[in-house]
């Protein structure tokens, strides 16, 4: 069977930190080990325990990041919670010709930048069911200090304000029940055009 039309376009995944993007991606890659390729971003943040250079991220020093930026090596980049993040041209190019679908996990500034390029991806927003659930997940993950949780909650408000703009994303999936969210996510990832969920008020 030939792939659905949207399978040939990159998939841009965005949503507040702690909303469950990595969890959904991990499941997708486990179910379809050969269909997708995660674009590995560059970051200047420190690796978390268990993270490997070149796998979750290319971990680089700030100087090296800025040099690549100067050389027009990034499709998008942003400073987030004090660290630089970026998607390199090379990371996406190396996937494009392999027949796999390129998935990009990107925050809101990056989404805005990609919209000014010719990449033409499908934009998918993963929404938390509410702000209180988002906070519970961030705290429960146990990877952030209290101050970092507060910073991420504040940044989440920007992501959500953008998501509320008409036409910001092609599809919204609310990550309430993980199995339900994953079934929708899988359909989008495989290239199906679905209606998706309605963005919750997220005003709590
Ligand atoms: N539907 C869900 N129900 C309950 N807990 C969830 C659900 N989805 C994810 N989680 C949990 O919420 C926490 C945050 O998820 P995850 O790390 O996947 O978020 P993320 O969006 O990738 O964050 P970041 O952008 O910071 O990497 C994790 O501890 C994860 O196990």
Ligand 1 contact via 130 beta carbon (within 6 Å): no
Other Cβ atoms less than 10 A from the Cβ of 99: the count is 12
Using alpha carbons only, give the angle 108, 110, 116 rounded to the nearest 5 degrees: 115
Task: Identify whether the C-beta of residue 186 lies closer than 8 Å to the C-beta of residue 24.
Answer: no
pLDDT given for residue 2 in this prediction = 59
CA dist 79 → 42, 45, 62, 85, 192 (Å): 12, 10, 11, 6, 32
Give the integer Cα–Cα distance in Å for 199 and 126. Answer: 9
Ligand 1: centre distance to CA 136 (Å): 10
Any atom of ligand 1 within 6 Å of the Cβ of 21: yes
Judged on CB neighbours under 10 Å (0-12, 13-18, 19+), 176 is middle
Residue 204 in any domain: the answer is no
Check pocket membership of 137 for ligand 1, CB cut-off 6 A: yes
Question: 129: which 2 tokens?
Answer: 């069911």
* CATH number for the domain harbouring residue 12: 3.40.50.300
Work out the burial of residue 107: count CB atoms within 10 Å of its CB; fewer than 13 is exposed, 13-18 middle, 19 or more buried: buried
* Closest CA to ligand 1's atom 3: 178
With beta carbons less than 8 A apart as the criterion, state whether 125 and 111 touch: no
| Whether the CB of 23 sits within 6 Å of ligand 1 | yes
- What separation in Å is there between the alpha carbon of 135 and the centre of ligand 1? 10
Q: Judge whether 92 lies within some domain.
A: yes
198 belongs to a structural domain: no
- For ligand 1, atom 24: residue with the closest CA: 17
Contacts of 185 (CB under 8 A, 6+ apart): 24, 28, 124, 126, 173
> Does residue 111 sit within a domain?
yes
Name residue, tokens 């938390």.
Answer: 128
**Residue 177 alpha carbon, nearest atom of ligand 1:** 1
Q: Is residue 194 part of a domain?
A: no
pLDDT by residue, tens only, the chain of 204 residues:
556 888 888 999 999 999 999 999 999 999 999 999 988 889 999 999 999 999 889 999 999 999 999 998 899 998 988 999 999 988 888 787 788 999 998 888 889 989 988 788 999 999 999 999 999 999 999 999 999 999 999 999 999 999 999 999 999 999 999 999 999 999 999 999 999 999 999 999
Total domain count for the chain? 1
| Pocket flag, ligand 1, residue 20 (CB < 6 Å) | yes
Whether 195 is in a domain gets the answer no
Mutation probe of ligand 1 site: the residue of 12, 13, 14, 18 with most atoms within 8 A of C-beta: 18
Phi, then psi, of 130 in degrees rounded to 5: -160, 165
Residue 79: which domain range?
Answer: 5-189
Residues sharing a CB contact under 8 Å with residue 8, sequence separation 6 or more, in sequence order: 101, 191
Cβ of 141 below 6 Å from ligand 1: yes
Is residue 140 lining ligand 1, measured as CB closer than 6 Å?
Answer: yes
Decide if 155 is inside a domain: yes
User: Does a structural domain hold residue 172?
Assistant: yes
Q: Which residue has its alpha carbon closest to ligand 1 atom 6?
A: 20
Give residue 22 CA to ligand 1 midpoint distance, Å: 7
């Amino acid at each position: 069977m030939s792939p659905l039309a949207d399978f040939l376009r990159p998939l841009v995944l965005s949503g507040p930190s702690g909303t469950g993007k990595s969890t959904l991606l991990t499941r997708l890659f486990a179910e379809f080990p050969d269909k997708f390729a995660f674009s590995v971003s560059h970051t200047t943040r420190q690796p978390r325990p268990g993270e490997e250079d070149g796998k979750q991220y290319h971990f680089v020093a700030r100087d090296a990041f800025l040099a690549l930026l100067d050389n027009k090596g990034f499709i998008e980049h942003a400073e987030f919670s004090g660290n630089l993040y970026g998607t390199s041209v090379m990371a996406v190019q190396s996937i494009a010709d392999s027949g796999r679908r390129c998935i990009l996990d990107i925050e809101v500034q990056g989404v805005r930048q990609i919209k000014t390029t010719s990449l033409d991806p499908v934009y998918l927003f993963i929404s938390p069911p509410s702000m209180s659930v988002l906070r519970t997940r961030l705290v429960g993950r146990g990877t952030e200090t209290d101050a970092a949780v507060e910073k991420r909650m504040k940044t989440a408000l920007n992501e959500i304000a953008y998501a509320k703009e008409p036409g910001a994303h092609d599809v919204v999936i609310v990550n309430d029940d993980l199995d339900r969210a994953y079934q929708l996510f899988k359909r989008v990832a495989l290239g199906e055009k679905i209606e998706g969920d309605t963005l919750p008020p997220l005003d709590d």
